[in-house]
Amino acid sequence: MAHLAVTVDAEASPERVFNVLTDWDRHHEWMSLTSARVVAGDGHSAGSALAAFTGVGPIGFLDTMEITDWDPPHGVSVRHTGWPLRGTGFFRVLPRLGGGSTILWEEDLELPFGSAGRFGWNLAKPVGAVFLKRSLRRLAELSAA
């Protein structure tokens, strides 16, 4: 398993951040190179299915997910069900003392390609962390608007 976690503070309340975070049709506004949509269920409960395309133009990959935990306004967890991403991911939105919130994004991923995948992860992890953190900063900014 490969683990990646990033956090960002937001001026907005946990309720506001969670609402923007889980407005799946707006993911392209804050998540780098990614658009998402609900493909089954209401998108706001465990068992709902999501599909997110990450890439530029037609070059990229489709990340299929199932919502496994729905705890507004504090968290949502997903199980990645496709290829190349398999594993779990979750967002937590925690209240900050004095106002605002802290947004945590964690991923625990099964790496494809065996030892080559593990080697590649060592190179990709720092880049992935930068993209995730940049995305969370954009989420925080969008939530404050």
pLDDT at position 119: 81
Joined tokens for residue 9: 């503070």
pLDDT at position 96: 97
pLDDT at position 3: 94
Q: What is the pTM of this model?
A: 0.92
pLDDT at position 115: 82
Residue in this structure with the two tokens 């099964």, named with its chain if needed? 110
Helix, strand, coil percent values for the chain (each to nearest 5): 30, 45, 25
pLDDT tens per residue across all 145 residues of the chain: 899 999 999 999 999 999 999 999 999 999 999 999 999 999 999 999 999 999 999 999 999 999 999 999 999 999 999 988 899 999 999 999 999 999 999 999 998 888 887 887 888 889 889 999 999 999 999 999 8
pLDDT at position 97: 94
pLDDT at position 30: 97
Tell me if 5 sits within 8 A of 92, measured CB to CB: no
Joined tokens for residue 3: 């683990």
Residues in the chain: 145
